[in-house]
């Protein structure tokens, strides 16, 4: 069974409490359950993680094991060359996810360094964006939806 690393960056541990008018009321725990269900439906094992620390996110990307990555790098999407380079170095199928439509937000959010190395980008679909990302990774990995 292919394994997908679902990686969440800074402040996503505050989902459900942080700016609910933007991010809704879904907690990180509920998001993890959604990802596990979506992954299972597509024959994927999900390794779900969150960190507020750039180095911990990079270390997770470097670990052997995953066949693909879903990443919501949060604010690091727009600032971290190191995170972008880690994704490029492992060269795994990658889908970038954002809960909000970053293109309808502040101008500094319109450019993502992660997008430069991602196979696809899903933004503005809320928590469902993660399920869409896992569906696309199943396709990229030759799973049930191919």
Structural domains of the chain, ranges and CATH numbers in brackets: 3-140 (3.40.50.9100)
Residues in CB range of 22: below 8 A, 6 or more apart: 99, 100
The stretches in the chain having pLDDT less than 70 are: 143-146
pLDDT at 43: 96
Q: Contact at 8 Å (CB) between 119 and 23? A: no
Per the residue annotation, which of 76, 98, 130, 136 is the catalytic one? Answer: 98
pTM, to two decimals: 0.93
108 catalytic residue (yes or no): no
pLDDT at 145: 45
103 catalytic residue (yes or no): no
Per the residue annotation, which of 23, 76, 130, 136 is the catalytic one? Answer: 23
């Amino acid at each position: 069974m292919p394994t997908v690393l679902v990686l969440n960056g800074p402040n996503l541990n505050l989902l459900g409490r942080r700016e609910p008018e933007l991010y809704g009321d879904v907690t990180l725990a509920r998001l993890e359950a959604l990802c596990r269900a979506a992954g299972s439906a597509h024959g994927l094992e999900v390794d779900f993680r969150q960190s507020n620390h750039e180095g911990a996110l990079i270390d997770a990307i470097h670990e052997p094991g995953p066949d693909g990555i879903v990443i919501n790098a949060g604010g690091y999407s727009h600032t971290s060359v190191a995170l972008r380079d880690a994704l490029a170095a492992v060269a795994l199928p990658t889908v970038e996810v954002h809960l909000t439509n970053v293109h309808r937000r502040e101008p500094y959010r319109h450019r993502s360094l992660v997008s430069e190395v991602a196979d696809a980008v899903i933004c503005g679909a809320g928590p469902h964006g993660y399920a869409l990302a896992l569906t696309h990774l199943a396709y990229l990995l030759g799973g049930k939806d191919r």
